[in-house]
Amino acid sequence: MSRVDVRQQLLERNPFLSSASPEPWDNNFPDLTGLNKDVGDHIFTLLRGTREGMRGTMAGLVLGEAGSGKTHMLKRVLDSMQEMGEGALFASIRAFLNPTSVFQDLRRGIFVNLKRKRREHRSQIDFLGEAVKARFHQDLVEGRVPSYYQDSLQLWFQEEYPDVDPRFLRLFYTYMDVKDSRLLGVMQGDISDDDFPGNPDLKIDDFESRDAAQEAEAQRAVLSLGMLLDYAKMPLIICFDQLDAMSDEGLIQAWGRVSAELINNVYGVLPLAFLRSDKWNAFSAVLDNAVKDRYQNNLMVLRSCTLEESWQLLEGRLRLYYEDDYEEKMEWLRTQLEAKLAVGDYAPRHVIEMANRAILQPLHPVRRPGPEDDREEILRAFAGVWSEERDKVAAEPGLWPPNLDDLSCALELWLTARSDCSSVVRTGQRFRVLEAECLQGAERVLCSFAFCATRHNSPARAALNAGLKFLNEDPMGRICYYVTEASVLPALPQWPKVHELLSEFRNQGGRVVVLDEETRVCWYALLALRNRIEAGDVRLYLSEESRLAVREDLMLFLRERFEGELLPFEGGKVEPPPLTDLPVDPFLTEDWPRLHEAICSLLTQAPMRMMKADFLLERLRNQDFKILHAGLLAYVKGQEECFRLWPCENGSLIQMV
């Protein structure tokens, strides 16, 4: 086969298109166990130490530059834990966005991970519940627990751990008995406990006190979870990844508070921070010395790939994509990269990117790119990363539960980049978060944005009341958006007061935006894109140099090429959204068995049993399936034994396994 043919094959199915490490739970890329083995071993030593002394105070710090394999190291930790069986639990926590809700964000992050399936379709929290029950049973048999507690595990636990939060404990045991996933939503703090009354703190009407109470409740929940871990002798590794996105001093201090609590007071957890070295220096300047020292006591540094490891990395990816048909492609890559890699050791991402460049660059370029091409290169690179992030969020909506801070952060970015909006500011209010001046026709109008992202009806009412108050101050000259998610706004007859307020809000000229599964993807993917930029995960190949993308590049992309419309703004004019009822949930309306059959049938006919998601969606719609893009990706992702998703330049590829 000629060089051109090999390159053509690689272009059609490029294993190196994405250099970002996927979420540890979804990372199918092969692991180079020799690379940074010392770091992996150190983490496992810490894990063993935590298991042996569940009330110990250990923490670890992994420093590595962008692309050095920090997120990939999480996959190694997770894989090794999977191999160990259910002996430990794992949670990967993203950067915090709001210093006043860090414990709530931590709790949410932990539960999002505990809900993930590990083996035999059982979630991590199932393993924890079973371990607690098994330990209790063993203690009964061996006489450490009096026999009259035989049917009262909860009662006994309460006496053994008097500081445990009784509400959290009750929810946990009820969940273990009935396996109702709504209970996990309540434990996570995203669903109102109206159905499970008993927490007086959450009945407080004053929202500042309520926020503080919720934060305190989240902190108690994390402490209580630690007691369950302690009893089950099952440590939980809490990995703080993408912390680079936190630059605000208040946020870093808040993260320090969370760390101090985890290290000093929560049993059975091992916090690990993954950071770039320059960011750690910035963190060090702000953090309390006690916290800083705890992390630095177990400092690990990720190193780059040796030449041999670089070849192994490339070969591993080729084998994953091409199985036995990889050797010729490897040979081609060797000739392309031999001289480049001889320059020195490179981070894994550099190696992947060099392979990608070799594949994408034309063999006989018409001309060498100049500075005038840089702008186009930035936009092209961002378009690819954007479609990758959009499809990742669509495929795994559970990783992005409704979150007010995430939504407001995404909107702030989007508004800041728009030429028809100016003076985008945070109001400091809990539910009416943002204000901006927006062009409506030729006039500038003050615009406010209220959010509700929890399935609690009092915050929903509070956000609407805040919006109404804003509108009433100047009924003719103001615009207010109320943004919420379909999953947190139940239809009538539930929440009659909220629906009454919604009508009033609309009558006053307020605009209601209810995000369904499809539209919410844009919001959360924008935040994911921003996190990738902050973490240094996007590289730009410009005419003079190759550098990491920065916020200004993101702004350029949002202004020039971003296709997602977070709100219905058009042509500099704010258009009223359709006053339709709540969007229909695509997951409930589809005939899944028939859809499954149709997908299989279409993919079987496709070359390599593989098709672009957009194309497949079009073919399905031609067959009268009413599925949305996000719904298709989420469905395919949930059927891992049948289908596989591959990142591709402009959208994902779906392959039948």
Partner 1 sequence: MDERFNVELEQLLQDRGRDFLSLSGVCKVMPSALRARLGLKSNSRVGEVQKALQPHMGRNLEIRKAGRSLCLVRRGEKDEMLLRSVQARPGKSPKTLRNSLPFTAAEFLRLTNSLLKEGRLRVELNARCEPLLFAVSPEGPPTLQPQPLALAPVPDAEAEKAVLRAAFQELEQGRIFVRICDLRRRLGWSREAFDSALARLRRERTVQLHSGDVSAMTQEELQDSFVDENGFRMLSLTWTEAR
Residue numbers at the binding site for partner 1 (CB under 8 A): 63, 65-68, 244, 276-279, 281-282, 289, 299, 301, 303-304, 306, 340, 342-347, 350, 354, 536, 539, 541, 544-548, 550-552
Which residue, 42 or 444, has its beta carbon nearer to partner 1? 42
Which residue, 552 or 585, has its beta carbon nearer to partner 1? 552
**Whole-number minimum distance, CB 536 to partner 1, in Å?**
6
Task: Please say whether the beta carbons of 60 and 208 come within 8 A.
Answer: no
For residue 625, give both structure tokens: 């399936």
> What whole-number distance in Å separates Cα of residue 567 and Cα of residue 246?
26
Which residue, 167 or 292, has its beta carbon nearer to partner 1? 292
**Whole-number minimum distance, CB 377 to partner 1, in Å?**
12
Q: Which of 109, 126, 230 is closest to 172 using CA atoms?
A: 126
> What whole-number distance in Å separates Cα of residue 317 and Cα of residue 311?
10
Which residue, 345 or 504, has its beta carbon nearer to partner 1? 345
**Whole-number minimum distance, CB 554 to partner 1, in Å?**
11
**Whole-number minimum distance, CB 551 to partner 1, in Å?**
7
Task: Please say whether the beta carbons of 243 and 59 come within 8 A.
Answer: no
| Enclosing H/E stretch for 448 | strand 443-452
Task: Please say whether the beta carbons of 208 and 215 come within 8 A.
Answer: no
The amino acid at 303: R
**Whole-number minimum distance, CB 342 to partner 1, in Å?**
7
**Whole-number minimum distance, CB 547 to partner 1, in Å?**
5
The answer to whether the bond into 493 is cis (omega within 30° of 0) is yes
Q: How many residues does the chain have?
A: 657
> What whole-number distance in Å separates Cα of residue 66 and Cα of residue 112?
25
Hey, how many other C-beta atoms are within 10 angstroms of the C-beta on 25? 16
Task: Please say whether the beta carbons of 102 and 255 come within 8 A.
Answer: yes
Q: Which of 580, 610, 592, 538 is closest to 377 using CA atoms?
A: 538
For residue 620, give both structure tokens: 């399905």
Which residue, 416 or 465, has its beta carbon nearer to partner 1? 416
**Whole-number minimum distance, CB 260 to partner 1, in Å?**
18
Which residue, 144 or 551, has its beta carbon nearer to partner 1? 551
Relative orientation angle of helices 207-232 and 249-264, to the nearest 10 degrees: 40
Which residue, 204 or 301, has its beta carbon nearer to partner 1? 301
Which residue, 118 or 349, has its beta carbon nearer to partner 1? 349
**Whole-number minimum distance, CB 67 to partner 1, in Å?**
7
For residue 531, give both structure tokens: 């996190």
**Whole-number minimum distance, CB 183 to partner 1, in Å?**
42
Which residue, 542 or 642, has its beta carbon nearer to partner 1? 542
Adjacent-strand bridge partners of 435:
425, 448
